[in-house]
């Protein structure tokens, strides 16, 4: 009996020939990731073990959630991380000015590659399946132990195969694909399962699309999301991943718990209404009188250069609607620099958008875009739970950069075709 991509990756890192769903295994890790929120408690667990870090080059520390620091408490959290970096000689630490959102900069800098395995003390660590890796989020305790041991335990998940067919129409992005999938199966539809994307439609998904799709596997309850290694992956990692890699393909006789087919040619822009990512609606089904107060374009889901290009396409020559605030947040310094050189930031500023340094800030209700009671935001982020971005009686609508920008221009939830 054959294995899926995730099963083969786990078997490789457990030193086993075969693994099966439900099996408890111990795997050697290629990297461990933490941010300014999850690192301090992980450090406490690490210190209890009394060992040095397992590899100072394979621990990735990124202060991104409350940085640049918004208050004394966040500054203290960042200092705890900074002091640890100095003490242990951590090489992959990304300070303000050289940083970005963790799930944007790791693939950007080639810190995770095909066939590799990593964990991160952040739920959206599942992003890296886009480059054919296994990656998943864990708690700070597991991350702290892994810093010392370089390994962790897993229960092998079952796999859902998501067959992508057809070619997407204009304005349809990876964000629409994953929101449509979550709308079909629900926020627990892939609970502790791998989502393996396959089919001829995969060729139409750019790396930015794939990173977005895998990023939100967790919003379906997934353990991870993963794409096959192909020409798009090969081109993306060229010049980024400067070490030998061993991509993983599923066996022809791999067993899947379920197969779901998504016809990309039938998709249109999708919006997830409050207060669940599964509360999805196609743009042509939406009331044209849902007025908004704010738009956020950025995050680990849609803060890449391609996302800013999409938003700029809508904003060029247009203005943000009166009484609407639009905040654009490049996902990394490299994204910021490229957007600056290509004139995208000028387009945003001329359109009356505010442009921020890279930060997770508003996505988790931290800062840089908090809502008051009764306000509505259209956001390219990944979660729209009650109170996620501010007051418990505010509302978050999840959408692609195209829809977010169009909504900012028209002052209501709108599709890009309307502008």
Tell me how far apart the terminal alpha carbons of the chain are, to the nearest angstrom: 52
In whole angstroms, give the CA distance from residue 140 to residue 11: 24
Q: Is 163 helix (H, G, I), strand (E, B) or coil?
A: strand
How far is residue 85 CA from its own chain's centroid?
25
What pTM was estimated for this model as a whole?
0.95
Q: Which helix (H) or strand (E) holds 299?
A: helix 299-302
In whole angstroms, give the CA distance from residue 211 to residue 380: 13
If you write DSSP's letter for every residue of 349-408 in order, what string do you get?
HHTT-EE--S--TTTTTSSSSPBPTT-EEEESSS---TTTTB-TT-EEEE--HHHHHHHH
Buried b (16+ CB within 10 A) or exposed e, 46-63: beeeeeebbeeebbbbbb
Tell me: is residue 363 an annotated ligand-binding position: yes
The residues near 210 (Cβ < 8 Å, ≥ 6 apart) are 130, 131, 174, 197, 227, 232
Tell me: is residue 300 an annotated ligand-binding position: yes
How far is residue 146 CA from its own chain's centroid?
22
The DSSP bridge pattern shows strands 151-155 and 24-28 to be antiparallel
In whole angstroms, give the CA distance from residue 120 to residue 35: 9
Tell me: is residue 360 an annotated ligand-binding position: yes
Question: What pLDDT was estimated at residue 1?
Answer: 82
Question: What pLDDT was estimated at residue 99?
Answer: 87
Q: Is 308 helix (H, G, I), strand (E, B) or coil?
A: helix
Q: Are 157 and 172 in contact (CB under 8 A)?
A: no
Question: Per the structure block, which two tokens stand in for 419?
Answer: 């502008």
In whole angstroms, give the CA distance from residue 310 to residue 354: 17
Dmax (CA) for the chain in angstroms is 61
In whole angstroms, give the CA distance from residue 235 to residue 233: 5
Name the strands in the sheet holding 158-165, side by side, starting at the edge strand that comes first in the sequence. 224-226, 193-198, 158-165, 258-263
Q: For 101-150, where are the alpha helices, taking DSSP H only?
A: 102-108, 140-149
Beta bridge partners of 33: 60, 120
Per-residue pLDDT of the chain (419 residues; tens, 9 = 90+): 899 999 999 999 999 999 999 999 999 999 999 999 999 999 999 999 999 999 999 999 999 999 999 999 999 999 999 999 999 999 999 999 998 999 999 999 999 999 999 999 999 999 999 999 999 999 999 999 999 999 999 999 999 999 999 999 999 999 999 999 999 999 999 999 999 999 999 999 999 999 999 999 999 999 999 999 999 999 999 999 999 999 999 999 999 999 999 999 999 999 999 999 999 999 999 989 999 999 999 999 999 999 999 999 999 999 999 999 999 999 999 999 999 999 999 999 999 999 999 999 999 999 999 999 999 999 999 999 999 999 999 999 999 999 999 999 999 999 999 99
Q: How many residues does the chain have?
A: 419
Beta bridge partners of 328: 297, 355
Question: What pLDDT was estimated at residue 416?
Answer: 96
Beta bridge partners of 90: none
Question: Per the structure block, which two tokens stand in for 350?
Answer: 């001329």
How far is residue 51 CA from its own chain's centroid?
32
């Amino acid at each position: 009996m054959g294995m899926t991509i995730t099963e083969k990756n786990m078997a490789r890192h457990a030193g086993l020939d075969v693994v099966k769903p439900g099996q408890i295994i111990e795997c050697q890790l290629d990297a461990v990731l933490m941010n300014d929120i999850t690192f301090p408690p992980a450090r406490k667990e690490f210190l209890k073990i009394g060992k040095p870090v397992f590899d100072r080059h394979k621990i990735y520390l990124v202060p991104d959630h409350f940085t640049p620091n918004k208050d004394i408490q966040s500054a203290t959290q960042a200092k705890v991380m900074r002091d640890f970096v100095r003490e242990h000689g951590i090489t992959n630490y990304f300070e303000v000015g050289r940083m970005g959102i963790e799930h944007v900069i790791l693939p950007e800098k080639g810190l995770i590659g095909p066939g590799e395995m990593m964990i991160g003390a952040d739920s959206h660590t599942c992003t890296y399946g886009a480059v054919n890796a296994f990656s998943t989020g864990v708690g700070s305790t597991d991350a702290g132990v892994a810093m010392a041991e370089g390994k962790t335990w897993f229960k092998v998940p079952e796999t859902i195969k998501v067959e992508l067919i057809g070619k997407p129409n204009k304005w349809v992005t990876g964000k629409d694909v994953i929101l449509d999938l979550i709308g079909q199966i629900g926020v627990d539809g892939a609970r502790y399962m791998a989502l393996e994307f396959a089919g001829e439609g995969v060729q139409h998904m750019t790396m930015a699309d794939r990173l977005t799709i895998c990023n939100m596997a967790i919003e379906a309850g997934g353990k991870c999301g993963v794409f096959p290694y192909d020409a798009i992956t090969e081109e993306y990692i060229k010049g980024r991943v400067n070490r030998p890699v061993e991509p993983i393909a599923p066996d022809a006789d791999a067993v899947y718990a379920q197969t779901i087919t998504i016809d990309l040619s039938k998709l249109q822009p999708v919006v997830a209404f409050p207060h669940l990512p599964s509360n999805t609606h196609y743009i042509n089904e939406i009331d044209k009188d849902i007025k908004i107060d704010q738009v956020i374009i950025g995050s680990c889901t849609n803060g890449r250069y391609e996302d800013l290009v999409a938003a700029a396409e809508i904003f060029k020559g247009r203005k943000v609607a009166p009484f609407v605030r639009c905040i654009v947040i490049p996902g990394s310094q490299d994204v910021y620099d490229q957007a600056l050189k290509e004139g995208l930031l000028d387009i945003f500023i001329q359109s009356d958008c505010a442009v921020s340094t890279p930060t997770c800030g508003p996505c988790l209700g931290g800062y840089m875009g908090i809502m008051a009671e009764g306000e509505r935001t259209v956001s390219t982020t990944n979660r729209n739970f009650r109170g996620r971005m501010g007051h418990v009686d505010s509302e978050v609508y999840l959408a692609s950069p195209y829809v977010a920008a169009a909504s900012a221009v028209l002052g209501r939830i709108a599709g890009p075709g309307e502008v």
